[in-house]
Amino acid sequence: MKQILVPVDFSDCSEYALEVAAQLARKLNGVITIFHMMGVSEAVLAKSELHEQEEARYYMKLAKEKLKRYTDKAYLMGIPVKTIIQNYKVFEEINKVAHEQQIDLIIMGSHGASGLSRLFVGSNTEKVVRSAEVPVLVIKKPHHDFKIENVVFACNLKAESHKAFQKALDFSNLFGAELHLVYINTEGSNFLNSRQIAEKVADFSTIIGHSHTVNLYHDFSVEQGIFNFAGSISANLIVIPTHGRKGIAHFFKGSIGEKMANTIKMPIMTIKL
C-alpha cells in the first residue's frame, strides 16, 4: 500500500481524501499521486489544430496553478507527491491511470449523504468503484487524526470473497488493527437457520485456510446490519467486496432510514472480487 492515488476536483471532499492519504503515506513511507481531470469539452477540441493547442495550453496552465495552490498543505510536507493532469471526462479512466502508475490504493472523497447503497449509485465514486482493479477508500468527512483500529469486513461467506478478505486482513495488519468478519442474516427469503450458517462458516474457514471468528448479526437488511454492527464495535472502517462493473448496489437487499443515512460518515473501502 505504498502507491496511493487521489483524484481531486478541488472540492472540500477531495481534500478530506488527500489529508487521509497523507497520513497513510507518512505511516507507510508511501508516495501520493494526485490526479486531476480537466474535462475540456468537445466543442473546444473541435476547433482548428492551432486553436486547440492554444486552448489546451491555457487550460493546462490554469489547472497546474490551481493544483499547486490546492496542494500547498502543511500535512503534505516531506511526503513524495506526484501530480497528473489529463483531459479525461469519464471517471472509469482513473483505473487506467492507476494501472499505469502501479497504484495500490485509490482514496476518494464523497458527499455520501444518502446512505451506503446510494453513495455508489450514479455518482463519480460509483464509476470509479466499478472499474477500479485496486481497493478504493471512500472518505466522507475530515479526519485530522485518521486511525484504523477496528475494521469490519462484511461478506456473504462465499468462496469468491476469499481474496478480498485476505486483502482486508493484510491492510488491517499494516496498522495493527483488528479485523471483524461479519455475516448479516436477514429476514425473509435470505434467512438462514443455525445449521445453515454453521455450514457456511465452516466452508469459508476452510477456504481462507485458518480459523477466523465469524460474527453473526441479525437485522432487517444487510446494509443496516453492517452499519449497526460497525457501530457496536466502534469500527473505524468498513470493508465491502464488490463485483466491480456490476456495481455495488447488488450487495444490498434493503435500505436504511433517513436519519441513519444522513449521519453515517464512516470511511468505506471496496475491494473488487
pLDDT single digits (tens) 114-142? 455 545 444 677 777 777 899 999 898 99
Cβ atoms of 144 and 15 closer than 8 Å: no
Residue-level pLDDT at 20:
97
151 and 268 belong to one structural domain: yes
91 vs 58, more confident? 58
Rounded to an integer, what distance in angstroms lies between the CA atom of residue 198 and that of residue 55? Answer: 63
List the CATH number of the domain containing 28: 3.40.50.620
Best CA proximity match to 266, nearest among 242, 218, 221, 232: 232
Question: Which residues have CB under 8 Å from 260's CB, separation 6+?
Answer: 115, 224, 227
21 and 142 belong to one structural domain: yes
- pTM (predicted TM-score): 0.85
State the residue range of the domain holding 269.
Answer: 147-273
β-bridge mates for residue 185, sequence order: 218
Best CA proximity match to 174, nearest among 155, 147, 154, 153: 147
112 and 213 belong to one structural domain: no
Neighbours of 253 (CB within 10 A): 15
Whether residue 174 is predicted with pLDDT greater than 90 in this model: the reply is yes
11 pLDDT band, cuts 50/70/90, is confident
Residue-level pLDDT at 259:
33
Rounded to an integer, what distance in angstroms lies between the CA atom of residue 71 and that of residue 18? Answer: 9
Neighbours of 196 (CB within 10 A): 11
Mark 99-115 as b/e (b = at least 16 C-beta within 10 Å).
eebebbbbbbbbebeeb
Residue-level pLDDT at 76:
95
For the segment 33-41, the average pLDDT, to the nearest whole number, is 76
Domain end point (choices 146, 161, 195): 146
In the chain, how many domains are there?
2
| Cell digits of residue 136 | 478504493
Range name among 120-134, 152-166, 213-227 with the lowest pLDDT average:
120-134
| Cell digits of residue 110 | 464523497
Domain end point (choices 115, 146, 177): 146
